[in-house]
């Protein structure tokens, strides 16, 4: 703007304020920022205001680490609904909300998210954003509103109101920001244009938040066990995974399935075949018996129910009879979410399993959410460009254990050579230590953005 002297003055004032904040408000013993009383002394109460220095860029790297530790501490700010206005270990904390005594607000949550983003803590910022959306979805299902303050525990069912009210409408913009941040942090920004362009309305906001929050992301809050123990899901979902062979579902999405199971949802794994050709030197019957038992053991690790469809490894087929049979099986499950093979694959059985799953989902009067998983991308799955990621960092041992159950296939070798590297790679894409990636089949209302048309 050509006002260099004024800019320099503001910069000096900002530096002086930053130094004063660190000198007066940072408690080196408690490793946190505290408000000042009228007498200029530090107030003893630990509140969400202590994270404002992250937004301002005032905190040093060490101070930022201390603040992150508080955000990850279940005894203070890492509650079921992150981040409460008052730390849970403070006198007067109210888990039912209590206005500024423990409620969760969109503006203050956004403040924490932006502060973390400024300090390069994108993974934690994304967890908090997605946790907010997950709990908001559950609160809406129970109360019929997304307005006002949010408790750090879920409310009991109440008569639903017709409108979120003025507060809910006023906060929509901030909540949309959190939806977009959550998506952006886990996906290629170049593929987000169609997700971000629709105008914000109560309907499409709720649709976005519930899709993200319900099945895939409801468990991203850490620790996962605390979420599962503190509150049961608003509605138990039915999740179905359809794989071609024993160990295919475990390879593609065992971590995600384990998270669903831990959250109290019903998980079924459908094996198209029993892997009859999968053990050299064994008859089809012997191999099928061995590998079926391995499937059962793997599903026990995941927390899933195994179902065997009855086709033969290496001789799978797609025809009207098989489509009808799969449609009946899937209809009997009445799934909310279905996981299936990515259809572009070098293995014919994987393609067959994918097509049968797609046809079965399309035949349902209320089609489920359909997500495609990868198996050995680059070797088997081809052209797989994920648009959905699931943080499986807390259930790595479940995924690994499910693969190790397939002793006849050298599950440990498969894990070390293929799926551990893929999980780490997808984790880096999503900003977490370990992730599973999916392509979500969506129906986009936007006009094609292809060049020339």
Domain-wise residue ranges, the chain: 17-214, 236-440
One DSSP character per residue, 161-184 reads: PS--HHHHHHTHHHHHHHHHHHHH
Task: Return the axis-axis angle of helices 396-404 and 284-302, rounded to nearest 10°.
Answer: 160
CATH class assigned to 236-440:
alpha beta
pLDDT at residue 154 greater than cutoff 70: no
User: For 183-197, what is each residue's pLDDT tens digit?
Assistant: 333 333 233 222 233
Look at residue 96 in the predicted model and tell me its pLDDT: 77
What is the chain's mean pLDDT, rounded?
80
Determine which of 40-54, 143-157, 402-416 has the lowest per-residue pLDDT on average: 143-157
The yes-or-no verdict on residue 376 having pLDDT over 90 is no
Residue 147 is predicted with a pLDDT of 58
Common-topology check for domains 17-214 and 236-440: no
Per-residue pLDDT, averaged over 203-213, amounts to: 39
Q: How far is CA 64 from the centre of its chain?
A: 25
The CATH code of the domain at 17-214 is 1.50.10.10
| Whether residue 220 has pLDDT greater than 50 | no
Q: How far, in Å, are 270, 371, 387 from residue 441 at the CA level? A: 20, 6, 9
Q: What is the DSSP letter of 393?
A: G
pLDDT for residue 151: 56
**Where is pLDDT greater, at 175 or 73?**
73
For residue 346, give Cα distances in angstroms to 244, 343, 363.
13, 9, 26
- Is there a contact between 115 and 55 (Cβ–Cβ < 8 Å)? yes
The residue with greater pLDDT, 362 or 153, is 362
Single pTM value for the model: 0.52
Each residue's pLDDT tens digit, 311-329: 999 999 999 999 999 999 9
């Amino acid at each position: 703007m050509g006002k260099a002297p004024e800019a320099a003055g503001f910069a000096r004032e900002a530096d002086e304020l930053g130094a004063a904040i660190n000198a007066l408000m940072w408690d080196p013993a408690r490793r946190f920022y505290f408000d000042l009383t009228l007498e200029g002394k530090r107030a003893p109460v630990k509140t969400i205001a202590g994270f404002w220095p992250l937004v301002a860029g005032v905190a040093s790297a060490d101070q930022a680490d201390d603040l992150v530790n508080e955000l990850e501490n279940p005894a203070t700010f890492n509650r079921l609904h992150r981040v409460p206005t008052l730390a849970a270990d403070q006198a007067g904390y109210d888990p039912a909300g209590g206005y500024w005594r423990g409620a969760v607000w969109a503006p203050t949550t956004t403040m924490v998210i932006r502060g973390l983003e400024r300090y390069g803590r994108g993974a934690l910022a994304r967890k908090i954003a997605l946790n907010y959306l997950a709990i908001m979805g559950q609160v809406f299902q129970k109360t019929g509103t997304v307005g006002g303050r949010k408790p750090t525990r879920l409310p009991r069912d109440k008569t639903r109101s017709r409108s979120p009210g003025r507060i809910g409408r006023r906060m929509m913009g901030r909540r949309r920001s959190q939806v977009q941040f959550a998506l952006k942090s886990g996906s290629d920004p170049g593929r987000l244009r169609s997700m971000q362009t629709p105008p914000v309305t109560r309907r499409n906001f709720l649709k976005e938040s519930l899709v993200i929050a319900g099945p895939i992301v409801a468990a991203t809050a850490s620790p996962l066990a605390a979420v599962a123990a503190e509150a049961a899901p608003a509605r138990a979902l039915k999740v179905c995974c359809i794989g071609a062979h024993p160990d295919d579902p475990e390879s593609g999405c065992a971590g995600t399935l384990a998270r669903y199971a831990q959250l109290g949802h019903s998980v079924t794994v459908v094996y198209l075949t029993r892997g009859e050709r999968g053990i050299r030197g064994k008859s089809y019957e012997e191999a099928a018996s061995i590998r079926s038992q391995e499937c059962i053991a793997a599903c026990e690790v995941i927390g899933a129910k195994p179902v065997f469809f009855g086709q033969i490894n290496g001789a799978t087929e797609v025809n009207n009879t098989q489509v009808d049979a799969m449609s009946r099986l899937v209809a009997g499950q009445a799934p909310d979410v279905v996981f299936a093979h990515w259809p572009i694959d070098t293995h014919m059985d994987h393609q067959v399993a994918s097509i049968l799953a797609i046809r079965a989902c399309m035949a349902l009067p209320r089609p489920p959410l359909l997500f495609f998983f990868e198996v050995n991308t680059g070797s088997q799955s081809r052209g797989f460009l994920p648009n959905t990621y699931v943080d499986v960092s807390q259930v790595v041992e479940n995924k690994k254990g499910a693969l190790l159950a397939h002793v006849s296939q050298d599950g440990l070798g498969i894990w070390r050579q293929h799926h551990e590297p893929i999980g780490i790679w997808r984790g880096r894409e999503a900003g977490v230590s370990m992730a599973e990636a999916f392509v979500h089949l969506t129906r986009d209302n936007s006009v094609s953005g292809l060049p020339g048309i």
